[in-house]
Chain A
């Protein structure tokens, strides 16, 4: 059983219900919401988007919250924030293809800012080789589920249908594959460090 977290004190003071204090209250509530949950919001969005996209979507979600008519309670605002962000992220994924095709300059700017150094490229390549080798240790069903989900980007439900097992099973496979990689990769890294 998961325990309840201490509620974050986000609800603003007593002015919440007074008409003239509404905007200010909501702004306070929003900034509190931001402080309390922005990290989680970004983490949530980054399960499917890049970091830059996640920040953009989060900003847009806050902007939409500001446009709400009445001040609301924290729990409503929080749910609304994540719901809006989730919807925006889905739109973003849907339009990702067309956006990238029509705006190559944006991609260029991003690349210029984050271009890897040769050393980074080499170490990334070595990491990839290590990960590939370790993935080879997995049983076939587990590996196939992971590859279909990670490389081919199939939705979990599609992987399940293709492999003829439940979605829960696929999730279990992917989790096992990732944990196995984590444990084995850190072991290999330690071994390599020990050699030095």
Chain B
């Protein structure tokens, strides 16, 4: 090998500690191995310290390794090919899932043709910035759309599906046990039977807040492929949650909010006040630890006020609080009190910069 790894004076001990770490990770109940490790720990306090360092770097390298893995999959098709060779079981599962999805779609089309399984055409609705729109569906359910939103509705005999492509909507679902009501947003779907909840889908992030009843958040599965067929775009099922995460089925109850997105390491469930759900309908926006970019998207949809972050690292600052649609400029001007930012106005736009490096 022409390549030589970087080493330093600590390398010998670090590598030894690292080797112990791996052997212990793999050990089941090998008493001799553990006794030997304990002797090594006691032989020199520096050994024990180094072991601790290995343990920490093992944890902290995880995010970097996952990032590298994602990036290489995006950038180097050859690498991706190689990578997939090592994931044969998963690949097989994807192939099987795809096959079943295609069969399922065929099944849908067949029964659609015979009229036995009637799925209506998907109907598309959009709202412009600052526009609100209320839809009354044929089943008695009501959807209230926030500004800058897009969704599609397909009511069938056996199911009711809504695809929230972008933006935010509040759902008041008419009770009908025989026809599940499912909202698809990003990589999650929200299943509800007679309940009231709000779904917000911004770039890479989905937030579901429940006012009344229970919804089930589920990871993408075959149903998504089938629904995509209904919404006339058969997508090959990826078989995994975004960003190397596994999304587990999660019940979300009245007074809870579920959030998943690139900023969260894991999906989160937070407590909220049920009466504050979808308060955008009263011209108020309420956030709990919401990334700043997402807050700004919602404010723009509500008030039309243009706000720009000139440093992408600001997008992940977390904002908790209420913003009034009528008081957006007051909110923006108060930001420097909460975050390390400065605000300037450029025509109709507010521009938010990181404090101390506004000129770059």
Within 8 A of A (CB), among B259-312: 263, 266, 268-270, 289
Could you tell me the distance between the alpha carbons of A156 and B22 in the complex, rounded to whole angstroms?
Answer: 9
Contact of A132 among B34, B65, B248 (CB under 8 A): B65
B38: chain A residues at CB < 8 Å are: 5, 37, 40, 78
Of B38, B40, B55, most A-chain CB atoms within 10 Å: B38
CB pair B40 A136 closer than 8 Å: no
**CB under 8 Å from chain A, chain B span 48-74:** 48, 51-55, 57-58, 60-69, 71
* Contact A129-B67, Cβ < 8 Å, known A86-B28, A152-B87, A174-B22: yes
A178 touches B58 (CB 8 A): yes
Interface string of B220-260 (1 = CB under 8 A from A): 00000000000000000000000010001111000000000
In this assembly, does A13 line the interface, its C-beta being within 8 Å of a C-beta of chain B?
A: no
Kindly identify, within residues 86 to 109 of chain A, every residue whose CB is under 8 Å from any CB belonging to chain B: 86-87, 90, 97, 100-101, 104-105, 107-108
Alpha-carbon gap, A97 to B247, bound state (A) = 11
Chain B binding surface SS class: helix
Q: Which of B43, B51, B62 contacts A2 (CB 8 A)?
A: B43
Q: Are A179 and B316 in contact (CB under 8 A)?
A: no
B11 beta carbon closer than 8 Å to chain A: yes
B41 beta carbon closer than 8 Å to chain A: yes
Write out the residue numbers on chain B whose beta carbons fall within 8 Å of the beta carbon of A121: 263, 316
Q: Name A5's closest neighbour in chain B (CB-CB).
A: B42
- B116 contacts A by Cβ under 8 Å: no
In the complex, what residues of B have CB within 8 A of residue A175's CB? 15, 18-19, 22
Per the bound structure, the CA–CA distance linking A117 and B316 in Å amounts to 10
List A34-69 residues whose CB lies under 8 Å from chain B: 37, 39-40, 43-44, 46-48
Assess whether B39 is interfacial by the CB under 8 Å rule.
yes
Is the Cβ of A183 less than 8 Å from the Cβ of B8?
yes
User: Considering only CB atoms, which chain B residue lies closest to A79 in the complex?
Assistant: B31
* Also in contact, A135 and B5, with CB within 8 A (given A40-B41, A86-B28): no
> Roughly how many angstroms separate A164 CA and B289 CA in the complex, as a whole number?
47
Q: A118-B318, A135-B64, A182-B14 are in contact. Are A46 and B55 (CB under 8 A)?
A: yes
Interface residues of A in 137-153 (CB under 8 A from B): 138-139, 143-144, 146-148, 150-152
> Which bucket holds chain A's interface residue count?
35 or more
Q: In the bound complex, do residue A128 and residue B11 qualify as a contact, i.e. CB atoms below 8 Å apart?
A: no
> Which among B29, B51, B270, B289 has the greatest number of chain A C-beta atoms within 10 A?
B29
> A-side binding surface: helix, strand, loop or mixed?
helix
Residue of chain A at shortest CB distance from B42: A5
Interchain CB contact (< 8 A) of A180 among B5, B31, B83: B5
Question: In the complex, A143→B61 CA distance in Å?
Answer: 13
Q: Which B residues are CB-close (under 8 A) to A184? A: 6
Partner of A108, one of B23, B61, B268: B268
Does the CB pair A128–B54 fall under 8 Å? no
Contacts A82-B31, A108-B270 known; A147 to B65 CB distance under 8 Å? yes
A158: min CB distance to chain B, Å: 9
Asked whether any CB of chain A lies closer than 8 Å to the CB of B322, the reply is no
Looking at A101, A134, A151, the one whose CB has the most chain B CB atoms below 10 A away is A151
From A3, A107, A131, A176, give the contact of B43 (CB < 8 A).
A3
* Contacting pair A47 B65 (CB below 8 A): no
Q: Is the CB of A44 within 8 A of B31?
A: no
Provide the bound-state CA to CA distance between A57 and B123, in Å. Answer: 54
Asked if A155 lies at the interface with its beta carbon under 8 angstroms from chain B, I say: yes
Query: Closest CB-CB distance, B65 to chain A, in whole Å?
Result: 5
- Give CA–CA (A78, B354) in the complex, Å: 54
Closest 7 pairs (CB-CB, A-B): A131-B64, A5-B42, A132-B68, A128-B63, A183-B6, A132-B67, A118-B317
Q: Kindly list 14 other residue pairs between chains A and B, CB separation below 8 angstroms, not including A79-B35, A86-B34.
A: A5-B38, A37-B38, A43-B55, A82-B34, A87-B28, A108-B270, A111-B268, A118-B316, A132-B68, A147-B69, A151-B65, A171-B23, A181-B61, A182-B10
